Amino acid sequence: MTALIEAPQSSEPPATRTRTQARSAAWKRRAPLLPALLFTIAVTQVPFLVTVFYSFQSWNMVRPGSQHFVGFDNYVDVFTDSVFLQALGNTVTITVVCVLVAMLLGLGLALLLDRKFLGRGIVRTLLITPFLILPAAGALLWKTTMFDPSYGLLNWAFGIEVEWLSDYPLAAVMTQIVWQWTPFMMLLILAGLQAQSREVLEAAQVDGAGRWRTFVSITLPQLSRYLQLAVLLGAIYIVNSFDAIYLMTQGGPGTASTNLPYYIYQRAFEGFDVGQSSAMGVVVVAMTLIVATFALRLMFRAFDVSRGVK
Amino acid sequence: MTARTNRLGRSALTGLTWLVALLFVFPVIWMVVTSFKHEVDAATDPPTFAFAPTLEQFTTILDRGFLPYLANSAFVTVLSTALVLLLGVPAAYALSLAPVKQTSNALGFFLSTKMLPIVAAIIPLYIISQNLGMLDNVWALIVLYAGMNLPLAVWMMRSFFLEVPTEMIEAARVDGAKLPTVLYRVILPVVAPGIAATALICVIFSWTEFFYAVNLTAAQAGTVPVFLVGFITSEGLFWAQLSAAALLASLPVMIVGWIAQNHLVRGLSMGAVK
Amino acid sequence: MAQVAYAGASRVYPGAHSVRAVDGLDLCIGDGEFLVLVGPSGSGKSTALRMAAGLEDVDEGSISIGDRDVTHLPPKDRDIAMVFQSYALYPHMSVRENMAFSLKLRGMSKSEVNAKVEEAAELLDLTKYLDRKPKALSGGQRQRVAMGRAIVREPSVFLMDEPLSNLDAKLRVETRANIAALQRRLGTTTIYVTHDQVEAMTMGDRVAVLRDGVLQQCASPRELYDTPRNVFVAGFIGSPAMNLLTLPVDGDGVKLGELKVQLPVRVEPGEVTVGIRPETLSLVGAAEDGFELQVELVEELGADAYVHGTLAGHADKIVVRADGRTPPRLGEAVRVAVRDTGEVHVFDPESGLRIGAE
């Protein structure tokens, strides 16, 4: 009991001790984060900053000593380059169409899989396989065994004679990308479907909602977070699509199926123009960030929702 | 609706599901079939369905020096995934179970790096690698793949860590465990399935990565996708060989993915929502 | 000797509107005592317990265990064991490993660990389940493992945070008795947090009632029941709750309808809050002294029935305990009398404090 009476006298020093302790504790908590943070900065941010630096230089790798500062010249060139603008348009088309189509197909497949039936496990295994195939292998296989004008399965199956890769290069590339990414979308959406509360669905049934009504009013809203994530992740990877174009069409015929990653690659590794390809890289990042800001905001809202539920 | 038509409808739906699945996966099935053909049967009009199977293509692929590429892929995939886990687990812990202010900023930063198109960094990476003598070097790929997968991995693992009940961690602290003990003997065993799922996704993305591999490596450090680029000019002449190469190149990650598909679903969805 | 003493201990959550979750708590728990911290949700009872565990910072004041000031010690150095509401068992460890974990961390030899774990398992009737994972246990068994994990350490203090709230009603009553018996047998100082006042009354040597982070009263269960220090304690302890009515003073008493109730203490003219427990009231015949109650709800519990109704001309509800065999009917008017005016509690309506408290 004496301790009880003495205690208040010593309450001042501990209070200050707590403050310094709190500060060091906060650092201790941050410490585990630092290696990953520094590593990520070193591997992704620093090269990007160097890209920004290069974008203000005129520099052709095959002409040593050609490097000098040119201000915004490269950016002016980039925006007056009709191929760049075409590549930009193709990138947008590929991303939007592929994400949407893959998501719709994924949703359809997920709905087919979201019930018990004979061989469900095998069907799911089959369906995820395109995601596990090397994209490079997938692209080459589609180019040859599927799209080849003389021996391809598509022309044989439909009894037609179409030069898929030269007549519809963009569509052919997108077909391959959609094929590759649909399983990913399907898996995500399937997870969302299976995370639905049975009771809520039953409540809807008891309330007299039919199947379609239940799907639209209950299932889709519950899926929205999964769909958002599917769109976001799908877009991040599909914007960067390179394998399919490089291996199937080489951006051609002409520049008909060139997208930004492929064009930048061409300018850098075939044209050796460091300055201009860097400027294009910076432009791509700027545009991605603008789009991503909206996407990120959406996603953080999703976070908050789940936090609130927890 | 009678029970009979109901059952009929269900079987029809099952049949449809199977049909769609088989159609969807047909390019893969065709790849497998073609890889066992002689070249003369591979590219024909109409396609050949009956043929004498052969392993000739697989031996040819191995003779063309496939194994070193496979070894490079395995090495790069395993080590970059290990590096991701080594860096990512503590980071995910800090972001979930011991959050401080600015945590969500750090999280946002990790996510935003994922938005950075890799083309935007390839030129300096190429030049830096060249100056360091790291071109065509597996270690360069290991570091880059780790950088590529780390943000997604941190984000996924954070969601798994958030699932760990705080009371359990407190119980361990009361039981006398210090932070490393809490982390390795209490938290990690509980989140092990989540970490496995994360690792699996890193493995898939590392194994299938094309852009860095093609631009930064060649004969020495080339990974499996680089080997496949050799077929780009084959123009319908070596389809059977191409199929065999594609099959061999995809098989490891296909098998891993099939076996661990439940983890995959869990991993993706957890990263998604929680 | 391990008494636990809170000395002006506060937990303040910083922020624009800083919240004093526990505010200047002064409480001394004697060696071997079973103290129950009780209060509604948000009263700070769990926070107070977690401060003793070292899981919450002590922002002001201090806490000592035995003769050591533990205010800034980490949990592992406090010689305490805690039982959590969710049990917080390690899901990847067997029952044996769960109980052995803390002992192993202390570097105890294998044989010693085994002996202690088995002894605890024996005590809790867990021997059969030692090699099972928590997943394969029932709720009651899990609860016992959580107890076992605390017992094996032979700590100087047990801290229990609503350890029974995840059990079904029947098991809860049974386990309640077991825990109390176990504590008496081990003689370990125990702080037990609950929101269930029946648990508080049946288990504690003393019960501390908290509200909004402030200690309202700490006393034996009987004392809390008989002489609640203020209106809050009066209303919180006892089920159904005490009837509390604020009435004008009429001479040396108050008027409940036609009934003049003599107050056991002297009061100033003005208003007072009177508290009458349902069991202090009884139904009487129409001819006897009493007040009229309009019956609105009858809760039949078998042995007893609780009659809820309103006093004519008064908004407050009044609950009366009646015989379970002959309860009045809904809508009926009944006559109610006070059995013993000595059991009527009187409080100051302004401060809520008991009048005539010693």
For C:158-177, CB contacts with B below 8 A are none
pLDDT at B37 over 90: no
Q: What is the pLDDT of residues A99-122, one digit of tens each?
A: 999 999 999 999 998 888 888 889
C-alpha triplet B243, B245, B249: angle, nearest 5°: 120
CA-based nearest distance A93→chain B, Å? 17
Q: Does C191 contact B at CB distance below 8 Å?
A: no
Q: What is the pLDDT of residue C115?
A: 93
* Contact call for B174 and C75, based on CB within 8 A: yes
Handedness of CA B246, B249, B253, B255 (dihedral sign): positive
How far is it, in rounded angstroms, from Cα B32 to Cα C169?
Answer: 62
Q: What Å distances lie between residue C146 and C53, C176, C184, CA to CA?
A: 16, 14, 18
* Contact call for B189 and C102, based on CB within 8 A: no
- Which residues in chain A have Cβ-Cβ distances shorter than 8 Å to C64? 3, 7
* Right CATH for C4-229 from 3.90.1300.10, 3.40.50.2300, 2.60.120.1130, 3.40.50.300: 3.40.50.300
Instruction: Tell me the average pLDDT across B5-11.
Output: 81
Tokens encoding C358? 């010693």
Number of CB pairs, chain A paired with chain B, less than 8 A apart: 290
How far is it, in rounded angstroms, from Cα C292 to Cα B208?
Answer: 85
Q: What is the pLDDT of residue B193?
A: 83
Residue ranges in chain C modelled with pLDDT below 50: 358
- Which residues in chain A have Cβ-Cβ distances shorter than 8 Å to C58? 14
Minimal Cα distance from A10: which residue of C? Answer: C61
Minimal Cα distance from C160: which residue of B? Answer: B171
How far is it, in rounded angstroms, from Cα A277 to Cα A255?
Answer: 16
Minimal Cα distance from C50: which residue of B? Answer: B170
Q: What is the pLDDT of residue C232?
A: 94
CA-based nearest distance C178→chain A, Å? 31
Strands (E), A49-205: 57-58, 68-69
Please tell me if the domain spanning C4-229 has the same topology as the one spanning C240-347. Answer: no
Task: List the single residue in C82, C91, C102 with the smallest CB-CB distance to B190.
Answer: C91
Look at domain C240-347 and name its CATH class: mainly beta
- Which residues in chain A have Cβ-Cβ distances shorter than 8 Å to B247? 137
- Domains of chain C, residue spans: 4-229, 240-347
- Which residues in chain A have Cβ-Cβ distances shorter than 8 Å to B100? 26, 29-30
Q: What is the pLDDT of residues A156-189, one digit of tens each?
A: 888 787 888 888 899 999 999 999 999 989 988 8
**Domains plus CATH for chain B?**
3-57 (no CATH), 67-273 (1.10.3720.10)
Task: List the single residue in A54, A109, A129 with the smallest CB-CB distance to B123.
Answer: A54
Whole-number average pLDDT of chain B: 83
Quick one: pLDDT band at residue B161, thresholds 50, 70, 90? confident
**Residues whose CB falls within 8 Å of the CB of residue C258, separated by 6 or more in sequence, listed in order:** C290, C291, C292
For chain B, what is the largest distance between any 2 Cα atoms, rounded to a whole number of angstroms? 75
Residue ranges in chain A modelled with pLDDT below 50: 1-17, 303-310
Task: List the single residue in A33, A140, A261 with the smallest CB-CB distance to B95.
Answer: A33
Q: What is the pLDDT of residue A268?
A: 84
